[in-house]
Amino acid sequence: MNKLAIVLAGMGAFALTIPTAPATASLETYQARVAASSAASNARDDMMDAFGKTSLKPGQYVWRDVPKSAGAERVVISLGDQLTYLYRDNTLVAVAAVSTGTGGHPTPPGIFNVLEKKTMHHSRKYDNAPMPFMQRIDRFGIALHAGHNPGRPASHGCIRLPKEFAKKLFAATSVGTTVMIGA
């Protein structure tokens, strides 16, 4: 099983090494949810350091050029802040305002991997709804994709991204990319 090291801000040289989900499974254990929430919390600080911002308006994103040689991509999603962060190793590349699942259709917290990518997909569950730049992360239909961003949870569990951000994220990631979803 692959490992992902997360350096916890404010904890000195301490590093937490957690297993990442195999390309065919997800980790929705208590430990995975805690690690994903910790990563989301640290990402807020990284956003301030990298972009001088603590929040984004609905549909907004920021992106900076970080060479692929900086390391493997990792996506961190903060359900509480409604933000998605893209890292290359421990370097923050981008942040986008998102819309995740509602109380009746929550986005599952935990650690996942991108299982499938399609530039255009249509939902089999929800009236053939378009899902541009779809990156599926579980076997039940949860995916990152371009969609409406009202600034609050509003999806059926998917992570809706601003369209141009979704396109850039789609190009930056690959099948197997780690996706951490935390509170």
Structure tokens at 145: 């994709």
Res 127: pLDDT: 72
pTM: 0.86
Q: What are the tens digits of pLDDT across the range 122-133?
A: 887 777 688 899
Q: What are the tens digits of pLDDT across the range 86-96?
A: 999 999 999 99
For 141, other C-beta atoms within 10 Å of its C-beta total 16
Indicate whether 56 pLDDT > 50: yes
The angle formed by the CA atoms of residues 162, 99 and 135, to the nearest 5 degrees, is 65
Res 21: pLDDT: 54
Res 129: pLDDT: 82
Indicate whether 12 pLDDT > 90: no
- 86-106 per-residue burial string, b: 16 or more CB within 10 A, e: under 16: bbbeeebbbbbbbbbbeeeee
Res 27: pLDDT: 79
Report CA-CA distances (Å) from 54 to 8, 33, 100, 103, 162.
18, 23, 19, 25, 18
Q: Which residue has the higher pLDDT, 37 or 15?
A: 37
Identity at 87, one-letter amino acid code = Y
Q: Which of 100, 98, 93 is nearest to 59 (CA)?
A: 98
Residue 34: what are its φ and ψ, rounded to 5°? -65, -45
Indicate whether 71 pLDDT > 60: yes
To the nearest whole percent, how much of the chain has pLDDT over 90?
A: 75
Res 22: pLDDT: 53
Structure tokens at 169: 């994220």
Which are the contacts of 30, defined by CB distance < 8 A and separation ≥ 6? Answer: none
* 25 confidence band (pLDDT: 50, 70, 90): low
Domains of the chain (ranges; CATH) run 3-182 (2.40.440.10)
